[in-house]
Amino acid sequence: MPSKRVAIVGGGCFGVTAFWALRCSDCDVHLFEASDHLGGRINSLPYEKDGREVNVDTGILLFNGHASPNFGALLDHIGIRTSDARLSFGISRGECTLQWGSNLLKDISSRPETLWSLKTWQTLFDIVRFRYLAVDVLADETQGDSSYQLHHDSYPQSVRDYLSKKKYSDNFYDDYLVPLLSVLWRRTNVARSLSNFPIKALVRFMYDHQLLSVPQTIPRWRVVRGGASQLIQTLSKDFPAENVHLKTRVVQVQQSGKSGAFIVRTADGQSHHFDHIILAVHAEEILKIMHSVVDSKERDVLRGLRTSKTVAVLHSDSSLMPKHELAWPTCNYITNPRSHPRISSKHPCLTYCMNTLQDIPVSIFGRIFITLNPFTPPHPRLVQGVWEYTDSELSVATLQARDLLPTIQNTRGVSYCGCWTGHGFYEDAVTSGLQVASEHLGAMLPFQLVDHQTQSIPTLGLRVRITRAVLRLIRLYIVLLRLFVGLLDLIGIPGLLKRGSSASRSSDAKLSKSV
C-alpha cells in the first residue's frame, strides 16, 4: 500500500521532473495539468514550407553545460544527446549593428568598420575590464561564505551603483551587458530592471556561466538534439496514464478535516484527497488555488515571487534581423528599427535564429525565427505560431523572496517548485523538481544532485593576476590623462586643445553615423 498520495499541480518541466523522480517510489503520484499536453514551455510547434514539416522548439533548448550539471546528468541518464552550440548576439539600433560572442577579436573582425569609433574601443576595454575585475564583488565568498544563496541583507550595491563607481561607460551597459543578459534570460525588460539588480547576484550568475575570464574558460553552450518533444516524451513514457490528468485545471486546494491531508478540487467538479501537494506553477496561481490554506508568512513569500508575461511569435520575417545576412548572430536584440525611429529603447524585442539553434537547413525550410515581444509584428503571411508564457520577474523583490523560500518549503506537506535558483530555466526546473522529490518525499535519484549553494570561487592564477594588474594600470593612466587635460583646461592653456577635442568628437560622431 502506498505510503503517501501525492498531487503535482502543473505539468511543465518542474512537475514532469518531479513525477519522473517519484515514478519508482512507493508514493501514489497524480499529476494535474490544465492544458492538453505536458512540458509547458518545453514544447514544439510544427513549421511547414512547401509541403515539408519540421518541429521547432518553443522553449529554445539552449543551455550552459558548466552551469547546468543536474540538467546535463538527467539528459545523460535518459539517453538524450546534446551538441555544441555557439552563442552570439547582435544589437540593432537603426543603421548601427554590433555583434558579440565569446571571442571579442573575432566579433570585431567581422565588423571592422566599427573600429573607427572611439566608443567601440571604450566598450571593448570595459568588457575586458568587467570580465577580469568584476569577480572582486564575490571576494567574501572566498573568505568563508561559499554559499550561492544571497540573502536580502547581502544586496547593498546595485548594478547601477557599481558601474557608476567603477566608471563604466553607458555603451558597455546599453550595447553589451543588457543585450547579453536579455538573450540569456530570454526577457525583453532587462533594460528597465537591470540597473537596480544586485551586482553580486549578477556577477555570480555570469561567473557560473563562464562569462567572466576568471578563470580563463570558454562557455560550454549546448543544445538538445531531437528537440523538446523527445525530451518530454522520454521523461513521461513510464508515467501511468491513469495518474496523468490532462485538461484538468486545479481550482482549489483545501485542508481536510483529517490532520495533514488536503482536498484538491478541479474545474470539472471532482475532489481528490492527498497527503502531500507539489505546486509546480507560478506563485500567482498558487495564491489563487491555495488562498484558504496558506498562512501569512507563506503569503508574503509567494507575493514576492513576481512574474511577467512574454509573447512569442514563430515566423520567417527576416526584417527582425540585421540588415546584412552574413552578420546574423544567434539572437538579435533590436531597440530602434529603421522603420520605427520613435520607438524607445526601453521596449526592445529579441529574435532567435532557429536554423542555427536547431540545425534546421535553410535550403529546405528557409529562415525560421522566434521573436519575443515584437513591437513590429512580423508580416501575417510569414507567421506560423503565436503563444504566451509566464516567467519570474527580474527584481530585487523576487531575489529576496527566493532566499526566503526554504523557510516555507515542506513545512506541512506542501512543496514548491519554481525557476528561482538563478542558474537558467532548465537547470532551475530540473534541480527544483528533483530536490522536492528526493528531499521532501524520499525519492532515490540515479545520479548525485549537485548543490549549487556550495560552489565557491577558485584561487586566481598568476596569468589572471597579471592581466588584472595591467587593466588597473591602464585605467589609472586614463584617469590621470583626463585629470591632466582638465587641469590644462582650467589654467587656460589649451585653446587649441579645445578645438582639437571638438573636432575629434565631431569626427567620431560622423564615423559612428556611418557605422
What pLDDT was estimated at residue 116? 60
Instruction: Output the furthest CA–CA distance in the chain (Å, rounded).
Output: 92
Q: Are strands 262-266 and 271-274 parallel, antiparallel or unpaired?
A: antiparallel
The band of 514, judged by pLDDT with boundaries at 50, 70 and 90, is very low
Q: What percentage of the chain carries pLDDT values higher than 90?
A: 37
- What are the DSSP calls for 212-237, one per residue? S-SS-----EEEETTHHHHHHHHHHT
Q: Judge contact between 41 and 388, C-beta under 8 A.
A: no
Average pLDDT, the chain: 82
Task: List pLDDT tens digits, range 442-498.
Answer: 999 999 998 876 666 667 777 888 888 888 888 888 778 778 777 777 776 655 444
Burial class (CB in 10 A: 0-12, 13-18, 19+), 248: buried
Least confident of 106-115, 206-215, 375-384: 106-115
What pLDDT was estimated at residue 403? 85
The band of 109, judged by pLDDT with boundaries at 50, 70 and 90, is low
What pLDDT was estimated at residue 456? 66
The band of 97, judged by pLDDT with boundaries at 50, 70 and 90, is low
Over residues 398-407, the mean pLDDT reads 86
CA–CA dist 359, 390 (Å, integer): 27
Instruction: Let me know the angle formed at the C-alpha of 456 by 101 and 410, rounded to the nearest 5 degrees.
Output: 105
CA–CA dist 34, 8 (Å, integer): 12
Least confident of 222-226, 329-333, 338-342, 439-443: 338-342
Q: How far is CA 140 from CA 111, 159, 201, 322, 396, in A?
A: 40, 18, 13, 42, 20
Q: Judge contact between 430 and 16, C-beta under 8 A.
A: no
What pLDDT was estimated at residue 346? 56
What pLDDT was estimated at residue 446? 94
Task: List pLDDT tens digits, range 282-317.
Answer: 989 999 999 888 889 999 999 988 888 899 999 999
The band of 140, judged by pLDDT with boundaries at 50, 70 and 90, is low
Over residues 426-438, the mean pLDDT reads 91
What pLDDT was estimated at residue 212? 87
Within 8 A by CB and 6+ apart from 264, the residues are 7, 9, 32, 250, 252, 253, 271, 272, 273, 274, 277
What pLDDT was estimated at residue 313? 95
Region class of 186: left (phi > 0), else alpha (psi between -120 and 50), else beta: left
Least confident of 109-113, 146-150, 152-156, 192-196: 146-150
Judged against a pLDDT cut of 90, whether residue 76 lies above it is answered with: yes
Nearest to 226 by CA among 85, 61, 370, 52: 61
